[in-house]
Amino acid sequence: VSCCTPMNCSITELLAGAEPQTMRVYLRVRPFSKEELSDGEDQGCVVIENNQTVTLKAPKGSATMKSSEKGIGMSLHKFSFSQIFGQEMTQSELFEDTVKSQMSDFLDGKNALIFSYGVTNAGKTYTIQGTPKEPGILPRVLDATFHYVGGHLYDGMDRKPYLRNDAQYLDLDQVKQERIAKAAIFASVKDVRVKSLANLKSLSSPSTRFSSSPLSYAQTVFASDPTEAGSSQFALWVAFFEIYNECVYDLLQPPLCSKSKRRAALRVCDDGAGNAYVKDLRWINIQTLGEASKLLQFGNRNRSAAATKMNQSSSRSHSIFTMKLLKIDGSRVERISEFSLCDLAGSERCNKTKTFGERLREAGNINTSLLILGKCITALRNNQTDRMKSSYIPFRESKLTKLFQAVFCGKGRASMIVNINQCASTYDETLHVMKFSAVAKQVMQVIPDKPLESLVPCLVGHDGKPLSNGVIDSQPLESYLSEEELLDEEDEANMSLLPQNEFVNMIESLRTKLLAERRRNLVQEMEIRKEMGDAMLQQLMESEELRIRQIEEQKESYQEKLENTFEMYKDAIKEHAYQCAMNNLEDDYVPLEEFIAVQEKVEVCHLISCLKEKYWTGIVCRSNTGPVGNTCHSAHFLPTAEDRCKLLYKEKCAIEKMCEDKQQLILSLEKRLMELSETLQKVGDGFLEKSADVEVLQRKGDDQTKSMDDILQQNVEKDQEITSLKAELATLSQKSPVKPKFKRGLLANIKEAVTSPRKGTPGRPLRKMSKTLRMKGS
């Protein structure tokens, strides 16, 4: 197989004498379903002119029609394909017209790739895998391969594909492990009813072999007969994996015991020659068509699928089924050919499929990988049309394009089957798919005229070491690059077709250059590491100084906040003390009148006590006075009885007057209290009246709100009724074969559409009335 530099896939760099041809792009139109017909999706959007030309007409309401009405784009688009298959095309006819040539290349030692492309719910999985009653391309390719091989199958499992284009020799223990893994898969499929197995076996009968007999099938499809190979035998190995959220998962791995465990993602690596492969991918050797059917069903059971608004079982990943056919002559593997069938996930718009959450992330990854695929094909076309300006081809931006990079660059024949539906709701997405396929059809592929028998695949041992004539090579093991070294190599190899001795010399020189380059890279890496270390140390010091300044600033800010908080607490304590003092003052408060009365009472009591004391003092003095009368100092200091009576009378009058004043004060306070009670009663009555008025107003407001809601509900119902009437009017106007000669008013049309279904009478009176009204208006 020829090899090219992946970053410069131009025609001039491919092999001389090869036959350039454009990529074959086929179109398959899916028929309408009953639900789509009932929803009015059939609006004549897709018109097949002939077996190679199709025309797309933009329906009303689509973004393309709106743009054309604004003068930006066109409403009609015409596309050409290698061949167009209408909705009446069967699966067998599709296989005969699309896969025949690539199937012949695969059996003749060349690589082939077929991938289905289109929007979601367009029939891609049906085209690739089909149904139990109508098998698709994949089951038919397997059946054709087994029919070609016939009795030349290699029974042993000691020759297995290795890396991308090499083979590996397995020892007895490894063969035993392969058989155990294969038996485990088949044991898990025993519980599943394999419905398609009988249909796949029925393909081998002469009456159902793609509308041709076995003899004619072998003559028309296969370029060579395996019986001419002499003692050569064939071993068929298959792998089935998917690319989900830009991660590669093996579909032939047994399911995990616990749902909480996540599947192991596989790596996409390089083999050192610019060929990408999936590391640790499980390859299964199959001997019969039944084993192939079981593997296919086992892989489909593990495939990621979910329900969306547009498809109940939408594929959320790109599934790739790869077959490798090893031609074995004794202990030598003469050649390896590869056939990959890729079922791409459908591109979709999230607003139409109503995806969210995990489905939204899946749709984003699907659209991203398909966008990168379109970029790669566009860059290939641009590099081939304008050789002076070689643009970068982003193969390595997606795992899907990285895996098929070699095929797009001439190491095999690629073809695309575009699947579309005719629904008007997905017209814009379908137009985008058609534009992409138009670009892909212009890509030139340069394929060698015949397989290159001089390039024999490298055969390695069970430990990965190269074998020479079935034994380990005597060269030192250090001279071979390990697999990890191959994985780390980023530079792509550019090999030419040379004799074997020159090829070995070139490998040795390249190995010497590789070692020198590694030494240079090691020195450069040490210098870079030192520079990076110094820069990192400087950056750490600067960041440390910045952090110290930030800490000081934070300390100052925290100190200021603490002082403010302290002042705030002081103010709060003062306010609390003041409030407590005011509360205590209110509790101990005594009215002024009561205080004056108590004070006067205390003064009167004190005066009475003084008078009593003087009275009793005078009595004692008189009793102690002798006959001479010289006990007291003077007689006029002792009050007489008349003086005491007068004094007591005065005191009595003062006390009575004080009591009268107190009684008048009490009467005035009682009068004032009664006035306050009457005022409070009036205020309470007014408050009750106002409360009653407020309740009445609130009830009136509630009634008005309820009536307003009823009016709004009636308006909504009327709007819905008007919308339905407009839709019915539009339907009637579209279905009417004859257009009216005059333009009637919108009011007359609405009246006719409303009154005719209710009364069950034709709309002639209304039309006459509308005509009369129009004549009066004119």
- Which parts are annotated binding residues for ATP? 118-125
| Cα separation values, 286 from 139, 152, 160, 190, Å | 13, 13, 12, 16
**Residue list, annotated binding site:** 118-125
Count Cβ atoms below 10 Å from residue 614 Cβ, excluding itself: 14
Rounded Cα distance, 776 and 778, in Å: 5
- The 3-class SS string of 286-340 reads CCCHHHHHHHHHHHHHHCCEECCCCCCCEECCEEEEEEEEEEEECCEEEEEEEEE
Rounded Cα distance, 328 and 326, in Å: 6
Pairing of strands 233-244, 318-329: antiparallel
**What residues have CB less than 8 Å from 677, skipping those under 6 apart?**
none
Beta strands in 194-278 (DSSP E): 233-244, 247-250, 268-270, 276-278
**Amino acid identity of 528?**
I
Closest by CA position to 46, among listed 9, 76, 6, 4 = 76
HSE on the CB side for 673, CA within 13 Å? 6
Would you say 372 and 401 are in contact if contact means Cβ atoms under 8 Å apart? yes
Rounded Cα distance, 373 and 398, in Å: 8
**Token digits for 243?**
């690319």
- Nearest-10 Cα torsion for 279, 282, 283, 288: -160
Would you say 238 and 178 are in contact if contact means Cβ atoms under 8 Å apart? no
Would you say 135 and 203 are in contact if contact means Cβ atoms under 8 Å apart? yes
Rounded Cα distance, 324 and 61, in Å: 48
